[in-house]
Structure 1
Amino acid sequence: MSAAEWKKKCESEWGLQGAPMPDCLDWKSVYESRPLGRNLLKNPMPYGLSKDNPPPEPELPEFPSHGPPRFEPDGDFTSWTTNIEVLPYDTSGIPEGVVVCALPQYSWFTTEQVVDLIAEGLWDKLLDEFQPEIVVQDWYEESQLHESIYQLHVKLLGADKSKVIAEHTVSPKEDCSIHSHKWKEVSHVFSGYGPGVRYVHFQHRVKNSFLNGFFPTKFSGSSVVVKAVKTSP
C-alpha cells in the first residue's frame, strides 16, 4: 500500500474525519502501532487477577505470624514504578489506660507509570488540535480493611513532564458496614484539556494491613485509552 492509502486506512477505520493528518507521518507504522482504542498501560493486571472474576477471599493464617511485619504484596510489577509508605500506628480511638496487645500496621503501596503518547504512535497535531478523549479506568478490591483503601491521581503532562496541563484525583471512602467483596470501578474522561499534552502520568495507591498476617488491597484492569472522539473545547 502507498503512504496515502495507509493514511486513508487510519482515517476511515478510526473515524478521524476532520482530524489533522500530516503527510509527513509514517502512516503504516502509525496503523501498526494502533495508538487509538488500545490500553497504553503496560502490565495492567500485575496480581494476575481479572476484574471479570470476583477477587479471591483473603486467607486467614492458622497461626499468628511471629516474624517482622510484611508490607510488599506478591505480584509481577514489571513496567510499574513502586513505592511503600509505612504508616504510624493509629491510637487515636483508644481510651486512656486501656492495654492494647496488638494494632494493625497499615501501609500505602504506590504503583505508577508514565505513558509517552508520541512514542505510542499519536502525533502532535492530533493531541493539540483534535484533542481526542483520554479515558482512564481502574478497578480495586472492595474490603473492610479501612475506610480509605484506594487513591488515584492522573496527570496530563507537557513535553518536559514538568507542566501539568490537566489532572484528576479521587480518594473514595469505603462503607465498612457493607461488604460484598467486589471489584469497584474508578474512571475519568479527560476532554477539552488544551494543547501541549504529551504524557499521561498514572498513579494509584492501595492500602495494605499487617496484623497476625498480611492483608493487601489488590487492583486490576488499569487502563489509559485514547479514543478517536473529538472533545469539546
Structure 2
Amino acid sequence: MSAVDWKKRCEAEWSLQGAPMPDRLDWKSVYEAKPLGRNLLRNPSPHGLSKDTPPPEPEVTDVPRDEPPRFEPEGDFTGWTTSREDLPEDTSGIPPGVVVCQLPQYSWFSMEQLVDLKAEGLWEELLDDFQPDIVIQDWYEESQLHECIYQLRVKLLGADKKTVISEHTANPTEDRSTYSHTWKEVSHVFSGYGPGVRYVHFLHRLKNQFMVEFFPTLFTGSSVIVRPTRSSR
C-alpha cells in the first residue's frame, strides 16, 4: 500500500474525516500503533482480576498466620510506579480511660503511570486542533474497610511534563451501612481541553488495613483511551 492508501485507511477506520492528517506522518506506522480506541495504560489489572467477576471475599482467621506480616497488596505491578503512605492510628472515638489492645492500621497504596501520547502514535495536530476525547475509567473494590478507600487524580500535561492543562480528581465516600462487595466504576471524559496536551498522568490510591491480618482494597480495569471522536463544545 502507498502512503496515501495508509492515510485513507486510518481516516476511514477511525472516522477521522475533518481531523488534521498531515502528509509528513508515516501513516503505516500510525496505523500499526493503533493509538485510537485502545487502552494506553500498561498492565491495567495487576491483581489478575476482572470487573465481570465479583471481587474475592477476604479470608479472615482468628489467629495470625505463621508468616511475616504483609503491608502491601500482592500483584504484578510491572508498568506502575508504586508507593505506600502509612497513616497514624485514629484514637478520636475512644473514651478517656479505655484501654485498647490493638487498633487497625491504615495505609494508602499509590500507583501511577505517565502516558506519552506522541510515543503511542498520536500526532500534535490531532491533539491541538481536533482535541479527541480522552476517556478515563477505573474499577475499585467496595471493600468496607473505611469510609474513604479510593482516590483518583488524572492530569493532562504539556510537553514539559509539568504544565497542567486539565485535571480531574475523584474521592468518593463509601456507604458502610450496606455490604454489597462489588466493583465500583470511576470514569471521566476530558474534552475541549485546549492545545498543548502531550502526556496523561494517571494516579490512584487505594486504602489498606492491617489488624492481625492484611486487608487490601483491590482494583482492576484501569484505562486511558483516546477516542477518534470529540464531544460537542
TM-score, length of structure 2 as denominator length: 0.98
Residues in 1 aligned to 2:29 and 2:64: alpha-carbon distance in whole angstroms: 56
Unaligned runs of 5+ in 2: none
Aligned length: 233
SS at match of 2:12: helix
Residues in 2 aligned to 1:62 and 1:3: alpha-carbon distance in whole angstroms: 67
Q: Within the alignment, does 1:215 sit opposite 2:215 as a pair?
A: yes
Deviation string, structure 1 residues 16-57 (Cα, Å, up to 9, x no partner):
000000000000000001000000000000000011100000
The 8 Å contact of residues 131 and 231 in structure 1, kept in 2 or not, is answered as no
TM-score, length of structure 1 as denominator length: 0.98
**1:69 Cα deviation after fit:** 4.8
Instruction: Letter of the 1:115 partner, please give it.
Output: V
Q: Give the alignment of 1:26-175 within 5 angstroms.
A: 26-64=26-64, 69-175=69-175
**1:79 Cα deviation after fit:** 0.2
Residues in 2 aligned to 1:28 and 1:204: alpha-carbon distance in whole angstroms: 35
Residues in 2 aligned to 1:132 and 1:81: alpha-carbon distance in whole angstroms: 27
Residues in 2 aligned to 1:223 and 1:141: alpha-carbon distance in whole angstroms: 16
**1:66 Cα deviation after fit:** 7.9
The 8 Å contact of residues 114 and 200 in structure 1, kept in 2 or not, is answered as yes
Residues in 1 aligned to 2:118 and 2:52: alpha-carbon distance in whole angstroms: 31
SS at match of 1:230: coil
Residues in 2 aligned to 1:205 and 1:178: alpha-carbon distance in whole angstroms: 23
Residues in 2 aligned to 1:169 and 1:230: alpha-carbon distance in whole angstroms: 21
Residues in 1 aligned to 2:231 and 2:17: alpha-carbon distance in whole angstroms: 14
Instruction: Letter of the 2:149 partner, please give it.
Output: I
Deviation string, structure 1 residues 55-85 (Cα, Å, up to 9, x no partner):
0000112413587753211000000000000
The 8 Å contact of residues 71 and 86 in structure 1, kept in 2 or not, is answered as no
Deviation string, structure 1 residues 144-191 (Cα, Å, up to 9, x no partner):
100000000000000010100000000000011111000000000000
Q: Within the alignment, does 1:21 sit opposite 2:21 as a pair?
A: yes
Match for residue 184 of structure 2? Answer: 184
Residues in 2 aligned to 1:56 and 1:66: alpha-carbon distance in whole angstroms: 22
Unaligned runs of 5+ in 1: none
Residues in 2 aligned to 1:128 and 1:88: alpha-carbon distance in whole angstroms: 45
Q: CA RMSD in A?
A: 1.2
Match for residue 227 of structure 1? Answer: 227
Match for residue 196 of structure 1? Answer: 196
**1:143 Cα deviation after fit:** 1.6
